[in-house]
Amino acid sequence: MRCSFDRASAATALAALLLAACADSGSGRHANLSGFPPAFQHGYAEGCESAGARRTRRDEGRYRADEDYMQGWNDGYSVCHRP
């Protein structure tokens, strides 16, 4: 018996596999941040923690003074926030 598998089916299957590989449990805690500066990584981690917590964890002085930390915090919070 010959299996028929057209290009549309192949593209759909590939897209499903790619999406499944990129899927996460809903949090950005497992994001690969290896190419980002340490300040960004620290801000991202604190932003992500804050998104799921009752209390915001953020170094306000650093948030105002360090653009990498601020961007990391904002990105971490946005990715991990669940409405």
Cα 35 → chain centroid:
14
Whole-model pTM: value is 0.64
Task: Give the per-residue pLDDT at 2.
Answer: 57
- pLDDT of 24 above 60: no
Nearest to 47 by CA among 81, 4, 1: 81
Mean pLDDT for the stretch of residues 3-10: 54
Tens-place pLDDT, residues 34-56? 999 999 999 999 999 999 888 99
Spatial CA neighbour of 44 closest among 8, 74, 12: 74
Q: Cα 38 from chain centroid?
A: 16
Structure tokens belonging to residue 31 = 């994001």
Q: Give 52-62 pLDDT, tens digit per residue.
A: 888 999 999 99
Provide, for the chain, the percentages of residues in helix, strand and coil under a 3-state DSSP scheme, each rounded to the nearest 5: 60, 0, 40
Query: What confidence category does residue 28 fall into, taking pLDDT thresholds of 50, 70 and 90?
Result: low
